[in-house]
Amino acid sequence: MTDKLRCCVIDDEPLAGNLIGGYIERTPSLTLGGVFTSAHEAYPRLASGEIDLVFLDIQMPQLSGMELVKLLPPTTMVVFVTAYENYAIDGIRADAVDYLLKPVSYTEFLFAVNRAHSRRDRGGVAPAESSDGSPLHTSDVADSEYLIVKSEYRYRQIRKSDILYIEGLKDYVRIFIEGEPRSVMTLLSMKSVERTLASSKFMRVHRSFIVNLDKINLLERNHLSVVDKVIPGVVTHEIPIGESYRQAIAAFINSRSLGG
């Protein structure tokens, strides 16, 4: 059995496809099984199960990359290669190994290849998942100092004490981190996030919001304020308080109020 990954490239832009094909040929741990300009052209080869890893463009005529993924053998790994950044959530659902933005450098390509080798070493599967279907955190214990989440095809380790608040948005959550202008988006349920956070430090104050109690700056009847003092200019976030969470908020206020 060879350790090499058998790869193919599918991209309706010949220059982009040939670039990745050239990267595969110059990488000793890979073998090139073909460069194709359409999903239909490549499908017979993919259906045979001969290909371990496919570098796949998303936007293609007739049959898109997202549609093709649903037809692949379960052992075939996918790296999306695209010019568009707005496929993050779809790509996470598709369980892609990685997501590369054009133009792709050889360094970025190798990073994705290393991830594919690591996945194959685990038996061709992604990291384990929790019982509710969300990615399992390596720090999936309430008293752990860190939270590890999958975001945009990378695993991100976040210090819990740096979290300002977490917002639930249907199928995924946004984690707002002190000092960072952009939130971290990941495919998780609020229930799974709440379970991994220490209850003494975090509180769910609304159906869609969990806050770091140490970051609260102002409490009012219907909302609270969380302040990011690290980011330039200081940013204040207004968080609504849900009716069913008011009693817990009142208990928190009493526990920290001078004079009780």
Classify domain 146-256 by CATH number: 2.40.50.1020
Helix (H) or strand (E) holding 57: none
Residue 250, both tokens: 């009142």
Give the count of alpha carbons within 13 A of 19, CB side only. 16
Looking at residue 91, the DSSP 8-state letter turns out to be H
Would you kindly state where each structural domain of the chain is located, as residue ranges?
5-121, 146-256
Q: In this predicted structure, what is the pLDDT of residue 134?
A: 45
Query: Residue 1's pLDDT band (boundaries 50, 70, 90)?
Result: very low
- pLDDT tens digits for 72-117? 888 899 998 887 765 554 555 557 788 888 889 998 899 889 889 8
pLDDT at 16 over 80: yes
Q: In this predicted structure, what is the pLDDT of residue 29?
A: 95
Q: How far is CA 247 from CA 109, 203, 205, 254, in A?
A: 52, 12, 10, 11
- CA-to-CA distance for 130 and 147, rounded, in angstroms? 14
Q: In this predicted structure, what is the pLDDT of residue 198?
A: 66
Q: Which of 22-36, 100-114, 120-134, 192-206 has the highest mean pLDDT?
A: 22-36
CATH topology of 5-121 equal to that of 146-256? no
Q: In this predicted structure, what is the pLDDT of residue 259?
A: 61
Give the count of alpha carbons within 13 A of 166, CB side only. 31
- CA-to-CA distance for 113 and 27, rounded, in angstroms? 9
- CA-to-CA distance for 148 and 163, rounded, in angstroms? 12
- CA-to-CA distance for 14 and 36, rounded, in angstroms? 8
257-260: list long-range contacts, CB under 8 Å, 24+ apart.
none
- pLDDT tens digits for 154-175? 677 788 899 999 999 877 899 9
- pLDDT tens digits for 48-63? 889 999 999 888 777 7
Positive or negative torsion for Cα 66, 70, 71, 76: positive
Classify domain 5-121 by CATH number: 3.40.50.2300
